[in-house]
Amino acid sequence: MLLSPGHRFLFIHIAKTGGTSVRAALARRRWADPWYWPMFLCSRLSHLSGHRIGTKLPRHAKAIAAKELLPREVFEGLFKFAFVRNPWDLQVSSFHHIRRERPQYLGGHQDFASFLRWKLDPARPPQYHLDTSIELQSDYLIDLHGNLIVDFVGRYERLEPDFDEVCSRIGIAAPRLPHRRQANDRGADYRRYYDDATAELVARHFAADIKRLGYRFDGIDGAVSA
């Protein structure tokens, strides 16, 4: 999550949706925010009192966390945005990320299909690095009553034009969007990783995302529903 009180925006960073590139592009603007350095110092020094203050929200915190922690008028005055991704594509990306950077979390499953079945098995003991990618993306965007509480939901599939729209809404010139953490160990078409059974497994597990975010196995079906 990236908060800029000066530029009045809040970026909700859902893992594996291009968020690292978005954060990098907006970092310079954040450093120029007159509120950034006081917030940074308060966060670093607050431990001296024995308490941490909420000036730095967790990287992958949900929008509801900011709504609960920030004063109501501050939260409502922010332009809140996030990016989402086709759930079938996201699972392929997650598999390659874990295999490349944390192979000890594969659970002995070296191919995508067996790893996916094991990862989505409800009887499997939870593991942090796996369970962030089996959470619903829509849960990052809603309040406790299921209401959408962000102002704009961009898509990984059209990252650059949607990022330009974000910058226009913030009121800044769009900086170049760097390609951070770009994988080169997978094919471009996520669909070739699936058979009917594994595609249906993702469809069942992420049914709420598919419905709310307007995705289908082979693309985008519609807009994000409120």
The 3 state secondary structure assigned to the chain is CEEECCCCEEEECCCCCCHHHHHHHHHHHHHCCCCHHHHHHHHHHHHHHCCCCCCCCCCCCCHHHHHHHCCHHHHHCCEEEEEECCHHHHHHHHHHHHHHHCHHHHCCCCCHHHHHHHHCCCCCCCCHHHHCCCCCHHHHCECCCCCECCCEEEEHHHHHHHHHHHHHHHCCCCCCCCCCCCCCCCCCCHHHHCCHHHHHHHHHHCHHHHHHHCEECCEECCCCCC
* Number of C-beta neighbours around residue 224 at 10 A: 18
In a domain, residue 225? The reply is: no
pLDDT of residue 125: 85
In a domain, residue 78? The reply is: yes
Percent of the chain with pLDDT over 70: 85
181 pLDDT higher than 60: no
- The number of C-alpha atoms within 13 Å of 219 and in the hemisphere containing its C-beta is 4
pLDDT of residue 34: 63
pLDDT of residue 223: 81
Q: How many Å apart are CA 37 and CA 120, to the nearest integer?
A: 42
The reported pTM is: 0.87
- pLDDT bracket for residue 43 (50, 70, 90): low
Q: What is the CATH number of the domain that holds 181?
A: 3.40.50
- pLDDT bracket for residue 39 (50, 70, 90): low
In a domain, residue 37? The reply is: yes
**What's the number of domains the chain is made of?**
1
In a domain, residue 191? The reply is: yes
Q: Which of 7-11, 139-143, 221-225 has the lowest mean pLDDT?
A: 221-225
As a whole number, the mean pLDDT across the chain is 87
96/51: higher pLDDT = 96
In a domain, residue 197? The reply is: yes
Q: Residues 183-208: pLDDT tens digits? A: 666 667 999 999 999 999 999 999 99
Domain that holds residue 110: 2-220
User: Once rounded to an integer, what is the mean pLDDT over residues 49-77?
Assistant: 83
pLDDT of residue 53: 60
User: Once rounded to an integer, what is the mean pLDDT over residues 92-98?
Assistant: 92
9 pLDDT higher than 60: yes
pLDDT of residue 197: 97
In a domain, residue 226? The reply is: no
User: Once rounded to an integer, what is the mean pLDDT over residues 27-36?
Assistant: 69
pLDDT of residue 144: 93
Angle 189-22-7 from CA coordinates, rounded to 5°: 155
Q: Residues 107-162: pLDDT tens digits? A: 889 999 999 999 999 898 887 777 788 999 999 999 999 999 999 999 999 999 99
In a domain, residue 128? The reply is: yes
